[in-house]
Structure 1
Amino acid sequence: MQQSGSSRPTARTVLVEFNELSPQLLDKFIAAGHLPAFQAFRDSSVVFTTDAGEDPPALEPWIQWVTVHSGLPYSEHQVFALGDGRRKLTEPLLGDVLARAGVPVGIFSSMNTNYTRRPGEAGYVVPDPWDVEGEAHPKELQPFYETVSATVQESSRDGLPGPKDLARFGLFLLRNGLRPATVKQAVAQLVDERRKGGVKWRRASVLDALNYDVFRALNKKYDVRFATFFSNSTAHYQHYYWRDMEPELFTEAGDGKHAEAVLHGYKSMDTLLGRIMADYPDALLILATALSQEPWTDTEKRTFRPRDFAELLAFAGVTGGVAKPMMAEQFVVALPDEAAAIRAEEQLAALVVGDEPVLKLDRDGNQLQVGARRAAAHDGAVVSNPVTGATKPHDELFYAIHTTRSGRHHRDGALWFRTGEHRVVPGHVSLTDIAPTILAHFGVAQPDYMKGHPLQLGATADA
């Protein structure tokens, strides 16, 4: 795979990070003929099943993707919360090791990492859209990143960025690879929203197409040899619409309006995967999901978010805090200093419904990561502030995001290396093996701190 006398392989390597796709649903939809690109990819790949290595509450994509990129298990990297990657990861990640070996690297939205760029390093970085401190590299990518981030973080409100941001976003896209077919898809989506209604959820798939256009253009512009592309759209559909896909499994059926949502996600990703295969026919393509989902049939739940962050902070008595959304029910509050953050944590932790805390909190220095606890959100719930004696109905402070969640995380994940050979390796492999395998492909030494081992991809590999 490696050129003589060079640390670069003969072609690009692309790590396709399709978050939480289910190996079982992939098999089911392939068998039904819905996913021709996935079938072609699998039929020319060495197929592994990964084990995420953790159970709840540490079975979360913002933990498992850190394991993929760091080569460290959770017990060592200790990145637990979304946003912790930037503050807690100290060792160079997979892309950093390659970049420092002279390999131009492009990172597109890989979750909860802390990729930056040292002076003189080639390539680009687009942070994940939930990174509230994200800085793109080069800086000219920052407006694009900020618009995507705002769109994703506020997706629960079905809103769009303002006209100026959209105009700036559109101009960037036109200058960075936007295809006519993607424009047609986006226009069709907006027309369907107006004429049919009830289809705003499909915007996530349109955003994937827009992102991929930019990803492809950036790889060409910076002659990237290793690139990652992350998508969360279908993971989102599975979380909220699995009960619509298989209502017979659930005591509370869906509304019947989203029966095709999960399949739509897989088909959209199939189209995207087909584009990747066509655009990089000679590359080593790697499909990874890190973990997967399964139907959540026993304790279905809903997620909630504050209607107005400033109002919630004022109700708790917090002053000087600036709140920003992250993912689903999670948001962050930045305080002027650590003492103010400790005080704010106490004030927010005091809010209760009966004896049940309303919020779950995690503090790191002067920043709080906050989430609305679902157990406090029953009908007629009233939120109390014991310090001030103030009360408010729960539904005046919080709103339900989307609908009842019916897909939950599962430890199994798909890991397919498109080498031209089809072979299914039995059993499970660790997520910590992914980074060492990619480094070995590039002929770059594995750092001592990475705990995994290169997977054998050749025909002589042990089953």
Structure 2
Amino acid sequence: MKNKTILLGLNELNFDYIKFYIDQGLLPNFKKVFDIQTPIETTSENHYKFLEPWIQWASVHTGKTYEEHKIFRLGDIVDRPELVQIFEELENEGLLIGAVSPFNADNRLRNPAFFVPDPWTITKPSGNWIVKALYLAVHQSVNDNAKSKLNFKSIISLGLGLFLYVPMSRWSHYVKKILNVKKPGFKALILDSLLADVHLTLWKKYKPDFSNLFLNSGAHIQHHYLFNSKAYNGDIKNPDWYCQEGYDPLIHILSEYDIQIGKLLNLNNVKLLVATGLHQQPHEHLTFYWRLKEHEKFAKNIGVKRFKEILPRMSRDFLIKFDNEIDAANAENLLNSFYASKDDIKLFEVDNRGKSLFVELIYPNDILEKDSIYSKDSKFKLNNFKSFISFVAIKNGEHNGIGYLTSNFDLKAEKKINLIALKAIIKKVALSKD
């Protein structure tokens, strides 16, 4: 029987921390994989601004560097049909393809077994109506995370997904996690648990020749709670109101990943590739993350005019679309003119692509109820800025361009490779006869 191939993307995980927990007698399935294939280092971009996961994973999917593919924003891939991805390449070779949350990937497949897009990339899902409804629910829950609530339709869809795509043996797992949902990192853990369980159920039903499961909660938890990890040996501490001393959210998500890896290792005739794209190292300053609550309301309040729509992206980012370049340029100038009144630190970073702006709320300090913002150009002042935003997190981890690759078989590869070489490795493994 021909082998099947699964690419498991564990976004931005730091394998040195995983090795720390392995040395503590934890994470047995990670240990199994590491013992078979010593993790290979992958190298990527040289400039920090290009060390974003949506750039790195576009490089994995296309086999091209940033300079070649020019994908700078999450979701950009849908406007770049000339960039051929690994998914359609393998389908053109006659393979049946499946994917759950492939990062910054466009669904261009003719007849996939299943394709559930990541929550931020606007491309069509493939599967039955329940799978499509589940995707929309995940999309809503992730993009509305600042509101900390789900709409009724999303709750029903997530419930149906849990009921139909998660085996009963896992239901007690979800009950325990839901009971701890207020603890740091548990909402993200539940999401990745669901994505992994859905992928496994769909995989067992359709048995695709190649499938990709991408999980991002480990990256989220490292970004926001790394200072609480027992593997972290630095001096910075998170405040107790944010994450209680002695509580380690990182080991919880890694333990969940370890369970999921164990399930994949138990599948017959499966070659498993595990990649991270890049990894995270400890951040060296106390930096706050903020997210707008109601993007359109805020934009109108500060004077952004004639925009078509505003689309929330990951964490602090959002996309504003316009009908013409003049309106976009005016909005860019306005956003770039805003500063915090109390310390005169700039609020936004803006990338202008002509008729659209990719905006990041970069203000790094704590914000109090009395704090205001002002425009250095228009002199407009917005009081009680805090009412327009939600606290997201305190930055704990930052990107490092070295990533990792490992597997449940000997890859016979160099100890260090460029990330763009991963596409050729995936293709060779997926098309192998043995």
TM-score between the two structures when normalised by the length of structure 2:
0.89
Once residues 67 and 42 of structure 1 are traced to their aligned partners in structure 2, the CA distance between those partners, rounded to angstroms, is 24
Query: Partner of 1:276 in structure 2?
Result: 264
SS class of match (2:39): strand
Q: 1:155 aligns with which of 139, 145, 152?
A: 145
Once residues 81 and 54 of structure 2 are traced to their aligned partners in structure 1, the CA distance between those partners, rounded to angstroms, is 13
Q: 2:234 aligns with which of 223, 226, 249?
A: 249
> Could you tell me how far 1:127 is from its partner in structure 2?
1.2
Q: 1:292 aligns with which of 275, 279, 300?
A: 279
- Answering whether residue 320 of structure 2 is matched by residue 330 of structure 1, we say no
Partner letter of residue 303 of structure 2?
Answer: G
Q: 1:312 aligns with which of 271, 294, 298?
A: 298
**Aligned pairs for 1:132-151 within 5 A:** 133-138=122-127, 140=129, 141-151=131-141
Once residues 382 and 160 of structure 2 are traced to their aligned partners in structure 1, the CA distance between those partners, rounded to angstroms, is 47
Query: Partner of 2:119 in structure 1?
Result: 129
Gaps of 5+ in 1: 1-8, 445-457, 459-463
> Could you tell me how far 1:329 is from its partner in structure 2?
0.5
Calculate percent identity across the aligned residue pairs. Answer: 23
Once residues 281 and 442 of structure 1 are traced to their aligned partners in structure 2, the CA distance between those partners, rounded to angstroms, is 15
> Could you tell me how far 1:243 is from its partner in structure 2?
1.3
Partner letter of residue 380 of structure 2?
Answer: G
- Answering whether residue 400 of structure 2 is matched by residue 410 of structure 1, we say yes
Partner letter of residue 410 of structure 1?
Answer: N
Structure 1 stretch displaced more, 67-76 or 359-368: 359-368
8 Å CA contact retained: 1:109, 1:126? yes
SS class of match (1:170): helix
- Answering whether residue 428 of structure 2 is matched by residue 440 of structure 1, we say yes
Q: 2:206 aligns with which of 214, 222, 231?
A: 222
Q: CA RMSD in A?
A: 2.6
Q: What do residues 14-50 of structure 1 show as CA deviations (whole Å, max 9, x unaligned)?
A: 0010011112112111111111011112222353111
**Aligned pairs for 1:11-410 within 5 A:** 11-45=3-37, 47-88=39-80, 90-118=82-110, 121-131=111-121, 133-138=122-127, 140=129, 141-159=131-149, 161-175=150-164, 177-193=165-181, 198-199=182-183, 201-245=185-229, 249-255=234-240, 257=244, 259-278=247-266, 280-297=267-284, 299-321=285-307, 322-353=309-340, 356-375=345-364, 381-385=371-375, 386-387=377-378, 389-402=380-393, 404-410=394-400
Give the number of equivalent residue pairs.
423
> Could you tell me how far 1:54 is from its partner in structure 2?
2.9
> Could you tell me how far 1:406 is from its partner in structure 2?
1.2
8 Å CA contact retained: 1:353, 1:383? yes
Once residues 169 and 330 of structure 2 are traced to their aligned partners in structure 1, the CA distance between those partners, rounded to angstroms, is 52
Q: What do residues 150-196 of structure 1 show as CA deviations (whole Å, max 9, x unaligned)?
A: 2122334432x222321133224433x22113322222223334xxx
8 Å CA contact retained: 2:279, 2:401? yes
8 Å CA contact retained: 1:116, 1:137? no
Partner letter of residue 107 of structure 2?
Answer: Y
8 Å CA contact retained: 2:328, 2:354? yes
8 Å CA contact retained: 2:291, 2:316? yes
Gaps of 5+ in 2: none
Once residues 221 and 309 of structure 1 are traced to their aligned partners in structure 2, the CA distance between those partners, rounded to angstroms, is 41
Q: 1:223 to 1:263 in 2, by over 3 A?
A: closer
Q: 1:348 to 1:291 in 2, by over 3 A?
A: same
Once residues 229 and 378 of structure 1 are traced to their aligned partners in structure 2, the CA distance between those partners, rounded to angstroms, is 37
> Could you tell me how far 1:376 is from its partner in structure 2?
7.3
> Could you tell me how far 1:200 is from its partner in structure 2?
5.7
8 Å CA contact retained: 1:353, 1:376? no
8 Å CA contact retained: 1:185, 1:206? no
8 Å CA contact retained: 1:182, 1:209? no
8 Å CA contact retained: 1:106, 1:226? yes
> Could you tell me how far 1:365 is from its partner in structure 2?
4.8
8 Å CA contact retained: 1:44, 1:422? no
> Could you tell me how far 1:252 is from its partner in structure 2?
4.3
8 Å CA contact retained: 1:377, 1:394? no
Once residues 228 and 68 of structure 1 are traced to their aligned partners in structure 2, the CA distance between those partners, rounded to angstroms, is 12
SS class of match (1:33): coil
> Could you tell me how far 1:382 is from its partner in structure 2?
2.5
Once residues 390 and 44 of structure 1 are traced to their aligned partners in structure 2, the CA distance between those partners, rounded to angstroms, is 60
> Could you tell me how far 1:326 is from its partner in structure 2?
1.3
Once residues 364 and 396 of structure 2 are traced to their aligned partners in structure 1, the CA distance between those partners, rounded to angstroms, is 16
